Amino acid sequence: MKTKIQSLRDYSNDYHESVVDPEKFWSKIADNFVWKKKWDKVLDWDFETPKVTWFENAELNLTENIFERLLPTHENKTAIIWEPNDSEAAPIHLTYGELFKATCTFANALKAQGVKKGDRVIIYMPMVPEAAVAMLACARIGAVHSVVFAGFSATALADRINDCEAKMVLTSDGNYRGNKNIPVKAVVDEALDTTQFVEKVIVLKRTGEKVEMKKGRDFWWDEALEGQSDRHEAEPMNAEDLLFILYTSGSTGKPKGVVHTTAGYMVFTYYSFLNVFQYDTDDVYWCTADIGWITGHSYIVYGPLLAGATTLMFEGVPTYPHPGRFWEIVEKYKVNQFYTAPTAIRALQVHGTAPLEKFDLSSLKVIGSVGEPINEEAWHWYHENVGKGNCPLVDTWWQTETGGIMISPLAGITPNKPAHASLPLPGVQPIIVDAEGVELTGNNVEGNLCIKYPWPSMIRTTYGDHQRCKDTYFSTYKGMYFTGDGAKRDHDGYLRILGRVDDVINVSGHRMGTAEVENAIDEHPEVIESAVVGYPHEIKGQGIYAFAICDGSDKSPEVLEEEIKQLVRKIIGPIAKPEHVQIVSGLPKTRSGKIMRRILRKVASRDLSNLGDISTLLNPEVVEDIIKGAGLD
Ligand code: 7RM
């Protein structure tokens, strides 16, 4: 069996084999890698506990499968191209040979600072090559990285540090993002005031601004590297040893630490990268995500590097210094595969096609989308203007919890259907169920999306709280992994993802739990109760709309609204700041005291049709007030 699928027929055959004999299928893919010790059993699982073990008792180090395995043929091939925020500044090209040395040197530096196998290391950094090196160095020594998006607040960072009891934080002085310079080290300092686990902080000089360095705790990156050897013997890891923790929002409580382990994640990110993007040996591949999200982990760093690809990393934002920046970069590096989010497409769509026409995009072979459902209009705009009508568009559906792409066309192989994630990858067994969990077979069905069989890169647990993993993903429907998304299978059997069916809002491809935002709002001393919902937003996909009761406050609603917005920004970060805050006299409640979000969603969407029956509410009179307050009467 070839690893790379080359035709629809290959796809059908491989898909069939992966379902009939998953263990044989995945063991053949795993044979591409170097193992210090082979597995005793490919898969052991039950979705009740839940417990999932891939490649049981095997030993390996993921970075050996990037470096030692590929160096004989890839020593001088570019591994990472780094394009800085400032378009005039010099880019960096790192070959596989250079990246290996950088990884080993930093691995030795981490060890010298006391980091051991199993320790948790927080990476709170800009999009610079050192961030990728840091991830790889952790994997090299067996430390567990947890990358925190550098746009999160000190409180959000502190919560994550405390949850995983991180021993070290890797950060930078500042972070260039478009015309902004974000003082990240200052945020780390503030976070560390409320945590007790972190012993050392290593700080990369990026912007050169003055930062406070705490003696004995804070060290400069260069200082930490001094005198360290560029050779390092990889730590042998068990297949199921933790590779990383990545925090993500759900419908309840604080963000959960999604745990990914070594071998299964390695096998699946490699396999999915090669097949979805149809990467060829000399291609230049670019994914515009941030390494703070799962897309950055799987498809900027691990998948591409395991496949020996050239992966481009961009520090900046799509519209700086001009709205053609993405296309300028595509031309500059002759990018072949370009992978971005619908929100970025819609934001660029606003500028029309003029910025696109200035640049030569003829190198593009494949364009991709991820993070949220792509609407048909954006799909066509992207396909026609960026892909010039002749690049396959891969609409890739997956999640932090799935580790890798689950449902997607394979570029140039699966016939393209606008706004359809289309077909599952080999080894992935999605099903659509009704509210009772009964599988809806056949075509033309719509319901909740579940996965009924394990895949190698699936979530193993939520860090420190296995019960929460069980409750969130394996309890809604017995014996299945529940995605939280709705989906439809059309008359051709192609899947279309309809978006979240739980209390998760997808803002510009970033997941926000309504409960998380409500908790932040409730910190305001004058807020008695709040409710948060999502509503359709032209560019962001969804926007955040908050309702808050502030009885007895002397402040004007305008003042309260602004204070609440700023508070959420402070507690979680700019991405969670509500677009709208409406001060209300009450929230619509059912007789059992539950907030009727359905009504609030209608108000937030400015669509009062089919409001439904409100007579069963405990307080039907507040609905009129809310409608009036929203200016909809
Ligand atoms: C990769 C990523 C996961 C949630 C997921 C969906 C939504 C992601 C698509 C999509 C429709 C897509 N991980 N989602 N990709 N919806 N079509 N191609 O985004 O954990 O941050 O978010 O994102 O709702 O459950 S994530």
Helix (H) or strand (E) holding 158: helix 154-164
Candidate from 370, 449, 458 with most ligand 1 atoms within 8 A of CB, to mutate: 370
Q: For residue 1, what pLDDT is reported?
A: 65
From residue 179, how far is each of 89, 129, 235 by CA, in Å? 14, 20, 41
**What does the pLDDT look like over 114-142, one tens digit per residue?**
999 999 999 999 999 999 999 999 999 99
> What would the two tokens of residue 147 be?
């990358």
Q: Give the pTM.
A: 0.95
Nearest atom (ligand 1) to Cα of 511? 21
**What does the pLDDT look like over 30-77, one tens digit per residue?**
999 999 999 999 999 999 999 999 999 999 999 999 999 999 999 999
Which one is predicted more confidently, 610 or 456? 456
What length does the chain have? 633
Q: Whose CA is nearest to atom 5 of ligand 1?
A: 399
Residues 6+ apart with CB under 8 A from 382: 345, 367, 369, 374, 393
Is the CA virtual torsion 73, 337, 206, 170 positive or negative? negative
Residue 96: what residue type? Y
> What would the two tokens of residue 409 be?
């066309």
Q: Whose CA is nearest to atom 19 of ligand 1?
A: 371
Is there a shared CATH topology between the 65-235 domain and the 504-629 domain? no
* Ligand 1 centre distance from Cα of residue 243 (Å): 22
Domain boundaries, the chain: 65-235, 504-629
Count of C-beta atoms within a 10 Å radius of residue 319: 17
Q: What is the CA radius of gyration of the chain?
A: 24
Q: Whose CA is nearest to atom 3 of ligand 1?
A: 399
Q: Whose CA is nearest to atom 10 of ligand 1?
A: 372
* Ligand 1 centre distance from Cα of residue 495 (Å): 14
> What would the two tokens of residue 239 be?
């297949």
Parallel, antiparallel or unpaired: strands 366-370 and 78-83: unpaired
CA distance 48 to 57: 22
Answer for the pair 597, 623: CB distance below 8 angstroms, yes or no.
Answer: no
* Ligand 1 centre distance from Cα of residue 522 (Å): 28
Residues 6+ apart with CB under 8 A from 436: none
Average pLDDT over every residue of 145-161: 97
pLDDT exceeds cutoff 70 at 191: yes
CA distance 337 to 513: 32
Count of C-beta atoms within a 10 Å radius of residue 360: 11
- At 263, phi and psi to the nearest 5? -75, -45
Nearest atom (ligand 1) to Cα of 396? 18
> What would the two tokens of residue 455 be?
């895949």
- For residue 576, the 8-state DSSP code is G
Candidate from 258, 372, 483 with most ligand 1 atoms within 8 A of CB, to mutate: 372
Answer for the pair 541, 506: CB distance below 8 angstroms, yes or no.
Answer: yes
> What would the two tokens of residue 28 be?
């053949």
Nearest atom (ligand 1) to Cα of 248? 20
Candidate from 398, 425, 472, 473 with most ligand 1 atoms within 8 A of CB, to mutate: 398
**What does the pLDDT look like over 561-585, one tens digit per residue?**
999 999 999 999 999 999 999 999 9
* Ligand 1 centre distance from Cα of residue 227 (Å): 43
Q: For residue 480, what pLDDT is reported?
A: 97
Nearest atom (ligand 1) to Cα of 421? 18
**What does the pLDDT look like over 288-324, one tens digit per residue?**
999 999 999 999 999 999 999 999 999 999 999 999 9
pLDDT exceeds cutoff 90 at 615: no
Candidate from 287, 394, 485 with most ligand 1 atoms within 8 A of CB, to mutate: 485
Candidate from 294, 422, 511, 512 with most ligand 1 atoms within 8 A of CB, to mutate: 511
* Ligand 1 centre distance from Cα of residue 284 (Å): 25
* Ligand 1 centre distance from Cα of residue 509 (Å): 7
The region of weakest confidence among 95-99, 243-247, 515-519, 608-612 is 608-612
Average pLDDT over every residue of 208-230: 97
**What does the pLDDT look like over 331-355, one tens digit per residue?**
999 999 999 999 999 999 999 999 9
Answer for the pair 520, 531: CB distance below 8 angstroms, yes or no.
Answer: no
* Ligand 1 centre distance from Cα of residue 299 (Å): 14
Q: For residue 590, what pLDDT is reported?
A: 83
Q: Give residue ranges with CB within 6 A of ligand 1.
A: 248, 293-295, 369-373, 395-400, 421, 483-485, 497, 499-500, 506, 509, 511
* Ligand 1 centre distance from Cα of residue 497 (Å): 9
Is the CA virtual torsion 601, 606, 608, 609 positive or negative? negative
CA distance 371 to 379: 14
Write down the mean pLDDT value for the chain: 96
Average pLDDT over every residue of 259-271: 98
DSSP string, 93-104: EEEHHHHHHHHH
Q: For residue 551, what pLDDT is reported?
A: 85
- At 354, phi and psi to the nearest 5? -55, -45
Can you say how many angstroms the Cα of residue 324 is from the centroid of all Cα atoms in its chain? Answer: 25
Can you say how many angstroms the Cα of residue 92 is from the centroid of all Cα atoms in its chain? Answer: 25
Q: Whose CA is nearest to atom 17 of ligand 1?
A: 373
Average pLDDT over every residue of 614-625: 89
Q: For residue 38, what pLDDT is reported?
A: 98
> Is the domain covering 65-235 a CATH 3.40.718.10 domain?
no
Parallel, antiparallel or unpaired: strands 180-182 and 310-314: unpaired
Q: In the CATH scheme, what architecture does the domain 504-629 have?
A: 2-Layer Sandwich (3.30)
Percent of the chain residues past pLDDT 70, beyond the cut: 100
